[in-house]
Structure 1
Amino acid sequence: MRRRSDSGFPSHKTQQHGKVGKRDSLFYSDLSGGGAIAKASEWYSKNVRKGRGSVAFNDIVNKKWYEAQGMELGRQSPAKVDQFQKRLSQAFAEASKGTVYFFTKEENEGTCMPDTQAWRGWEFPALTRNRDVKEIIQVDPRQAIDKGHVIWTPADGPSYNAPRG
């Protein structure tokens, strides 16, 4: 596997897949149970009528490549798989452009979540250092009336912690 020296993950894989940066990026955290991507995608399609289309974690790289990496790393240890997924999430954030959507429970504050989670430790810090990101909007997709609110713009500056990847 080819590696970048700064993050340890080949972010060129996200760009080669051709969806990240051309579509609005959807990130998520702390949505109980399965189906977070489906909930986020459904909210986006109902509420962002003039958007560029969306891309989420499940569609940022070639699925066969992703599964092969996961299988190989899984043979080594579950921690390696977790590290790979967090670095992949960071690469997703580094390649995102324009408006980014963050889906989580209404009671969560997207800028203050634990930095051991992919969002706060890898994704959010990378997004806030990405010059192509114009705003981050937080949404609870479980709430039909939630239209989202801006939690970050470039005027806020980068997060206090650098990406952990």
Structure 2
Amino acid sequence: MPILIALSQILPNLREINLSNIRTDLDGLQHFSINCPQFEKLTWNNITIITGHFFKFSLDGSNMMQAKNLKEIIMDDSDFKYHEWKDDEMSIIDDTRYSRFLFCQCSKALERVSIRNMKWDSEVAPQDALIKFVRNVPTLRWFRSDLTIENMNILHLERPEIVLLN
């Protein structure tokens, strides 16, 4: 049994975990979202390569969709799994038919998110996807990303209660 799965079972009251620079897989992370109902904070910077490929966190947050109390995600310098056939709509901000956005599967309680230097399969994350995320998470209070100054100014007018950093 992988260590993260075992930890999720013996530490059901775990509130936060830091997996930065650790080689792991997503099964263990999914078990934390299921077995630890009080789980609030995930820090996982610098996701590393294992056997020639990335174990990537899904852009929609489906790896953590059972984490109903997740308030904080810190995932700087990380590369996320991008599926063109379903993730393109995360950058469409002018059409309400496209409701998917970054971390939409685990965003109900999110207050703080840092995704500075975020990549989508080694490509720079689109500005429209970052904007759409800020607009669609009403609980968000702090966001650090690669938003341009211009886009941060626009969002600050729409959501002045959010601290926006890059």
TM over 0.5: no
The answer to which structure has the higher helix fraction is 1
- Pick the TM interval, shorter chain: 0.3 to 0.5
TM-score when normalising by structure 1: 0.32
Higher RCO structure (Cα 8 Å, ≥6 apart): 1
TM-score when normalising by structure 2: 0.32
